[in-house]
Amino acid sequence: MPMHDLTPQQCLDALAWQVDAGADEAVGDTPGLAHWVGTSAKAAPQQPPLRHRSAPDTAAAPVPPPARAERNAPPTTAIAAETIEALREELGRFEGCALKHTAMNLVFADGNPQADVMLVGEAPGEDEDRQGKPFVGVSGQLLDRMLASIGLDRSSVYISNVLFWRPPGNRSPTDAEIAACLPFVERHIALAQPKIVVPMGGVATKSLLRTKEGITRLRGRWTDYTPHLGRDDTPSIRCLPLYHPAYLLRQPGAKRQAWNDLLTLKKALNEANSLK
C-alpha cells in the first residue's frame, strides 16, 4: 500500500516502527543491509514481561513439533475441504480440540485470502478470542505497523494461526492441541496458495517446518514449505520465518533483525510481482 493511502496516524505509527528498528541508521547504506545481520542490537531498555499479553510467549517457543503418530492421522474432513469457507465450516464442527470449549470464538483468519503472503501466528489471545479475528490486540497493532513499513496492510496479506482457539490464560499450546489443528492449518495454506508463507515465532515455525531448530536461527532464512496433507498435488511454497510481534514487544532490540527480515520479504514480493 503506498504511504499516501495511509491515514496520518498510520504513517506516524509506521515511521515509529522503522525508527525503532534502526531504519534511520541505514540511510546511505547499500540495499543489502547485510551489516545488520549478526551485529549487536541497538541497546534498548528491556521491557518487563507484559502483564496482560494478548498472545502467549512465542519467543521461548518450548513446544516441540507434534509427535509423528499424531500427525499421521489427520482428520479427513480438513483434507477434504475444497474451499477456505468449507474448511472454516469443518472447523466449526470439529470436536478434536478441547480448546474450543473454553474459548469464546473460533479465530480463523483475517485479511485477503488471495494475497501473495500468508502470515501464520501462534494462537489467539484474549482480544482475538473476543473478536473472533487474529492479531487484533497489542501484537496485532505492532504487526500492522511492521506491515505498513513495507507497504502492506490487511488487504494485502492473509493472516491465521496454528491454533484456532485461545488457550486458557494464554498458556502455551500443548503438542496435542497443535497436532489436532495442524491438518486444518496445512489445508488452509494449501487452499490459500500464497506465494510466500511466513510463520511468525517459534511455535508456528517449528510446527509448520517440523523442526526443533529455534526461531533465532531460522528467522530471515528462506526455506521451502510443503503442506503435509497426504496428497501429492500439494506444491511447495517459499517460506520465510519471522520473529513474532509479541517477542519484539518484549525484546525491542530484535526489531533491527526483524526490519531486515521484512526487507527480505518485500524484495521477494517485488521480484515475484515483476514476473507477473
**Site for ligand URA, rule CB under 6 A:** 54-55, 58, 121-125, 128, 134-135, 137, 139-140, 161, 246
Residue 125 CB, nearest approach to ligand URA (Å): 5
For ligand URA, the closer of residues 201 and 220 by Cβ is 201
Residue 101 grid coordinates: 470449549
Nearer of residues 79 and 200 to ligand URA, judged by Cβ: 200
Judged by CB, which is closer to ligand URA: 23, or 215?
215
Locate cell 511466513: which residue?
198
CB of 69 to ligand URA, least distance (A): 26
Helix (H) / strand (E) containing 139: helix 138-149
Q: How far is the CB of 163 from ligand URA (least distance, A)?
A: 8
What's the rounded Cα separation, in Å, for the pair 210 and 12? Answer: 38
Least distance to ligand URA, CB of residue 167, Å: 11
111/125 with CB nearer ligand URA: 125
Question: Min. distance of Cβ 249 from ligand URA in angstroms?
Answer: 10
In the 8-state DSSP scheme, what is residue 199? E
Closest CA to 117 of 274, 272, 276: 272
Those residues with Cβ within 8 angstroms of residue 225's Cβ, 6 or more apart along the chain or in another chain: 189, 197, 208, 209, 236, 237, 238, 239
User: How many residues are present in the chain?
Assistant: 276
Pick 77 or 170: Cβ nearer ligand URA = 170
74/173 with CB nearer ligand URA: 173
Q: Which residues contact 210 (CB under 8 A, 6 or more apart)?
A: 65, 228
Nearest approach, Cβ of residue 78 and ligand URA (Å): 20
- Determine contact, residues 240/264, Cβ cutoff 8 Å: yes
Beta bridge partners of 121: 161
For the record, the C-alpha cell of 262 comes out as 521484512
Contact 232, 216 (CB under 8 A): no
